A and B are shown apart, each in its own frame.
Chain A
Amino acid sequence: MKEQIGTNEGGLIARILAGEKELFHELIRPYERMVYLTLFSIIKNETDAEDGAQEAIINAYRHLTSFRGDAKFSTWLTTIAINEGRKRLRKSKGAAEQSIEEQEEGHEGDYTPAPLTDWREIPLAALERKELREALRIAVAELPDIYRQVFTLRDLEELNIEETAQALGINPGAVKVRLHRARIMLQKRLVPFLKTTAPARKRFFGRAL
């Protein structure tokens, strides 16, 4: 037989459902990072995101029989993670607040990138700097929710437009708009950090220039 059952995802799932339950560890390993980041993009708190990630993965295990091969496993799992995150968010925010799913991207706002001068002089090594990573983490955390979630699924977890749309229950056009705005907002936020890579400034008449 040419088909190697168990070496691909579909085969792995079939074996788990047939009783080799412990193989679920193996199935989930490539996705555990993704599940955590999805939760974190929604609840923005490490401990709660970890609890939620565990819960989502346990849920996926319990409901594996309902997984249909017509969607990708990663998309199915992401949907479970998003639902878990939203449930937790609703609980923590209380019923008084507006529904988080009702947010939509408006047309207001300035989504133009920040121009850079002397860009060519910036060494690639600048990307290795810790404070740049830190600045990016903060900037992503501060994006409005609907933008952060699309950005996380697309650029962090590398789902495609279609999968992102499916997981979030929005249309692909909205994914593109939100992604564009998220990227531009981040570019704008990070330009000052990308610019401050020049070597130590010389002092002039005792004053820093």
Chain B
Amino acid sequence: MKLDCKHVWEHISEYIDNTVDAKLREEIERHLEHCEICSAILDSTRNILVLTADDRTFELPVGYSERLHERLKEEIEKS
């Protein structure tokens, strides 16, 4: 069976997570080999995930950890 682009898009998230079955995976890979559009969509989605997991993207408020442990210290002392 030949996959069309739309079919690949539907499974792109599962493909990234490696939760598609072996047969579908193989079909998607075969499609990606010749389809630049889908390859670009896959790449860009992956890049977004890389960026998401990068600690510099979602930063904590300055001093968060210090304030947290200070409060925790008080709690532990009185418990």
Residues in A lying within 8 Å of B, measured CB to CB = 21-22, 24-25, 28, 32-33, 36-37, 40, 46-47, 50, 53-54, 57-58, 61-62, 112-117, 119-120, 127, 132-133, 136-137, 140, 151, 155-156, 158, 161, 176, 179-180, 183-184, 186-187, 190-191, 194
Contact = CB atoms under 8 A, between A and B. Distances in A.
B72 A119 contact: no
Which of A36, A40, A61, A120 is the most central at the interface, judged by chain B CB atoms within 10 Å of its CB? A36
Contact of B64 (A22, A32, A161, A191): A32
A153 B60 CA distance: 16
Which of B45, B54, B58 is the most central at the interface, judged by chain A CB atoms within 10 Å of its CB? B58
Nearest to B13: A180
A58 B53 contact: no
B22 interface: no
A155 B16 CA distance: 11
B3 interface: no
Given A24-B76, A36-B64, A187 B44 contact: yes
A136 B48 contact: yes
A119 B39 contact: yes
A155 B58 contact: no
Contacts of B49: 155, 183
Interface residues of B, number: 42
A149 to B, nearest CB: 14
Nearest to A154: B17
Contacts, number: 120
B57 A136 contact: yes
Contacts of A58: 71-72, 75
Which of A113, A155, A158, A179 is the most central at the interface, judged by chain B CB atoms within 10 Å of its CB? A113
11 contacts: A24-B72, A28-B72, A40-B58, A54-B68, A58-B71, A61-B79, A113-B41, A116-B37, A155-B53, A184-B9, A187-B48
A54 B79 contact: no
B5 to A, nearest CB: 9
A136 B58 CA distance: 9
Nearest to A46: B61
Contacts of A24: 72, 76
A25 B72 contact: yes
B41 A54 contact: no
Given A24-B76, A133-B51, A119 B40 contact: yes
